[in-house]
């Protein structure tokens, strides 16, 4: 099955609670088309390439059907794809590598619903709906937790009784597809082999760090859920469990869950601003403190990651903040200056790929996040085409 132009094509799908994002890649892994069905459950819109129109999607099934119709209108009918590839947030302990979707993989994703109740059900809905709409189209899945399966067991276990750990309460880590993409893309950016000890900063509304040694994750800041670790856009990051218990007792479980995930982080510290660009432009005392809090905890957690790797050879920034916020990169680099990291100020201000100054003991780079491309590459590898 080939798409227009005779190239193998992969449809990448990322189903969320109220949207389905998609991208089409050729067999050469060049992006051909992107779009999104947004506003599922009410008034929304369908964007396919540059074409955008208002639409109403009552369900994920209706949204996905509209996506397929929109793609067909652009010359990408379902029978022209080699496969559809899905971003699945949680693979648990079983699904740690990209996989062709069959009844066993589908059951494994379903077993992980308690671990990612806000994400895996929507991933499942897209997979099952597509199976009905295009039954002959092979489907693959890439798991956001999978990259961190290489962490040592001592890093993945909380200090909890065995019967609690057996219920799946352990560190999984997230942003794995971003880090897997970075590992693949960084040598293309630098023209050099992947550094042996690489500290990766995925900084965006969700933020985490990953210690990558010899191309594998050995530690990461997120844990059982994406709430743990750094200060984020609206998430609190790490917080003492007893503080959470007190809040849940005084304010209720639902209110505490919402506060920690939706009303904390940069938003909570600044009094209502979660966007890093707006915080840097605002310059008020609370905004400055929120930015400092974000950077301080990124540096502090970086020390833990460096210890897990037993040293550091290079740093890479990715994600919306990592790629675009020069002052944040500079503050973090200043916090790592004791290691011999020195940024080139002009390169940092310009957002150049190479950030480190001549004579710096530590390399520093911007590597653009290309998660969808990584998912497409996983599918092609599973199908034996790459």
Cβ proximity of 237 and 229 under 8 Å: yes
Report CA torsion sign: 147, 149, 153, 156: positive
Alpha carbons 377 and 61: distance in angstroms, whole number: 26
Alpha carbons 58 and 43: distance in angstroms, whole number: 9
Alpha carbons 259 and 245: distance in angstroms, whole number: 13
Alpha carbons 118 and 372: distance in angstroms, whole number: 20
| 136 secondary structure, DSSP code | T
Residue 238 has which token pair?
């790490």
Cβ proximity of 143 and 174 under 8 Å: no
Assess whether 38 carries a catalytic annotation.
Answer: no
Q: Decide the pairing of beta strands 207-213 and 197-203.
A: antiparallel
Cβ proximity of 340 and 362 under 8 Å: yes
In sequence order, what are the residues at sequence separation of 6 or more whose Cβ sits closer than 8 angstroms to the Cβ of residue 199? 209, 210, 211, 212, 302, 305, 306, 309, 312, 314, 315, 316
From the candidates 144, 275, 334, 344, which is the catalytic residue? 144
Would you tell me the crossing angle of helices 371-382 and 176-190 to the nearest 10 degrees? 90
- Closest alpha carbon to 18 in 36, 38, 45, 4: 38
Determine the number of helices (DSSP H) and then strands (DSSP E) in the chain.
15, 13
Alpha carbons 245 and 264: distance in angstroms, whole number: 16
- Catalytic residue IDs: 144
């Amino acid at each position: 099955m080939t798409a227009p132009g005779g190239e193998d094509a992969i449809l990448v799908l990322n189903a969320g609670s109220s949207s389905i994002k998609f991208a089409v890649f050729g067999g050469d892994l060049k992006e051909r088309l992107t779009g999104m069905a947004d506003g599922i459950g009410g008034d929304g819109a369908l964007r396919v390439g540059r074409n955008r129109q208002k639409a109403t999607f009552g369900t994920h099934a209706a949204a996905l059907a509209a996506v397929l119709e929109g793609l067909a209108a652009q010359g990408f009918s379902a029978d022209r794809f080699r496969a559809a590839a899905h971003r699945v947030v949680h693979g648990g302990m079983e699904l740690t590598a990209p996989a062709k979707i069959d009844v066993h993989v589908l059951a494994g994703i379903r077993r992980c619903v308690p671990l990612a109740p806000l994400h895996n059900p929507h991933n499942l809905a897209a997979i099952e709906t597509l199976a009905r709409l295009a039954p002959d189209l092979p489907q693959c899945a890439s798991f956001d937790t999978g990259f961190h399966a290489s962490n040592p067991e001592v890093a993945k276990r909380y200090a909890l009784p065995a019967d609690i750990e057996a219920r799946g309460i352990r560190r999984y880590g997230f942003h794995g597809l971003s880090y897997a993409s970075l590992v693949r893309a960084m040598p293309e950016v630098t023209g050099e082999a992947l550094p042996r000890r690489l500290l990766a900063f995925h900084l965006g509304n969700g933020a985490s760090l990953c210690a990558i040694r010899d191309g594998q994750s050995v530690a990461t800041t997120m844990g059982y859920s994406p709430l743990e670790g750094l200060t984020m856009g609206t998430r609190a990051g790490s917080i003492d469990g007893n503080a959470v218990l007190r809040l849940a007792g005084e304010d209720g479980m639902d209110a505490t869950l919402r506060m920690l995930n939706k009303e904390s982080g940069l938003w909570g510290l600044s009094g209502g601003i979660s966007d890093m660009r707006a915080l840097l432009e605002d310059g008020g005392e609370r905004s400055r403190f929120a930015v400092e809090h974000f950077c301080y905890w990124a540096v502090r957690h970086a020390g833990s990651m460096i210890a897990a790797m037993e040293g550091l050879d290079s740093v890479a920034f990715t994600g919306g903040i990592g790629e675009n916020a020069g002052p944040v990169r500079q503050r973090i680099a200043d916090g790592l200056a004791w290691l011999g990291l020195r940024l080139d100020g002009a390169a940092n201000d310009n957002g150049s790929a190479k950030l480190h100054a001549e004579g710096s003991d530590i390399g520093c780079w911007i590597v653009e996040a290309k998660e969808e491309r990584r998912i497409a590459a996983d599918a092609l590898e599973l199908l034996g085409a790459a």
